[in-house]
Amino acid sequence: MHNYSKILKEELICALGCTEPIAVALAGAKAKEVLGTRPTKVDAYCSGNIIKNVKGVTVPNSDGMKGIDSAVALGIVGGDASKDLEVLTGVTPEDIAEARRMLQDGRVEVHLKKGVPNLDIEIHLKDDQGNEVLVEILNKHNNVVRICRNGEEVLPQEELSQTVDEDLYQGMSLESILDYADQVDLSEVRSELQNQMDLNRAISEEGLDTIYGSAIGQILLIGDDALRTRARAKAAAGSDARMSGCALPVVINAGSGNQGITCSVPVMEYAKEMGKSEKEIMRALLVSNLTALHIKRYIGRLSAFCGVTSAGAAAGAGIAYLADPKNREQVYQTVGNALMITSGMVCDGAKPSCAAKIAAAVDAGITGYEMARTHRSFEPGDGLMRRDIEETIRNIGHLGAEGMKETDLEILHLMLQKDPGPSK
């Protein structure tokens, strides 16, 4: 019980905008804080997955700027490292203008960092006095592992941010997650869940009220107000907004705002339709959040495997739990069914089309639930499906973490090629 509560407190945190550019901005802001002066030269060394996930998404509070160079420049000029993943909350129009000047003057260079973990950000700053600062974030979006000034470590290792202790995940299974959801005193995690409900619902409503990106959420609702469509549309609308620079924060899951939205908004929409109480909603959100984290721990935070696949399956688990908390087999089958439907969806970076992928992942979660509810689940041996749901989850994790490594490299290679434009 204590372990799962601690995991949720570590994971269900607020972030402003897509977490990859925000992590870059956070590293830039922290480096500027240590340097103490405005840098004359900035070098950003980033892993391929960071470059992939920042390339096509709008940096929040940037007036439409995109890219790693924009994110780090804004972090340096107007970021507040003490706000963690909400580092760009206080950016002003003057900051944006100064960041643009930094880019125009060629003070920021971006480099691909090869042979490193998928989430690796290293920012180097130099000033006109010859001072140099290095800040590195590794494996988790706010996990600062190194701060150096003029070649010397600035802070002891124990004072730096750390990832969640892997020991907390030992023995995690869907069965133990359901035990936790049934029995935990909600006061342990009420503030985290309430924040998730309030903030993720708010950005979903913003995405339905205002046109962002490709407006997938609004498109899905045209001529169709059915429950299933609303669940897909409201989750997609939240992504519409945040992928296109909406300045509203969200509560993330496994380091991703899109995943945080996907495993919460559909569950809340179904709960509303079912007339469930706040306590019932929160317990269902415990199931969906922990199921998403359980699946993702095998895949990794960034990979060629689209993260909302696991979150969509987790939303299905939350919906199944809402419908019948005592029917655990229905939850297991829902997750397995959903993973079999969307397990081939690739991640080609954060961008407006993520909203459509969320709609597909939520649809898979709901389809998985409907299959389980009507006793039409996929059979063990169908593809990666196994009789034991934990083995199925491990299969999917191996596919994402190991089987798709070469796919990840090829996606990055294709994304870094210049678009030749429309053929004549």
From CA 58, how far away is CA 142, in angstroms rounded? 19
Per residue in 44-69, pLDDT (tens digit) is 999 999 999 998 899 999 999 999 99
Q: Find the mean pLDDT for residues 331-336.
A: 98
Per residue in 334-392, pLDDT (tens digit) is 999 999 999 889 999 899 999 999 999 999 999 999 999 999 999 999 999 999 999 99
Indicate the pLDDT class of residue 24, thresholds 50, 70 and 90: very high
Is 80 exceeded by the pLDDT of residue 422?
A: no
From CA 222, how far away is CA 409, in angstroms rounded? 38
Report the half-sphere exposure of 1 (CA within 13 A, side-chain side): 11
Residue boundaries of the structural domains of the chain: 13-159, 167-413
Per residue in 140-167, pLDDT (tens digit) is 999 999 999 999 988 765 555 555 567 8
Neighbouring residues of 64: CB distance < 8 A, sequence distance ≥ 6: 58, 245
Stated pTM of the model:
0.91
DSSP track, 185-235: -GGGTHHHHHHHHHHHHHHHHHHHHS--TT-HHHHHTTT---HHHHHHHHH
Q: Is residue 243 a contact partner of residue 352, using CB atoms and an 8 Å limit?
A: yes
**Structure confidence at residue 424 (pLDDT):** 39
The CATH number of the domain covering residues in 13-159: 3.30.1330
**Structure confidence at residue 161 (pLDDT):** 56
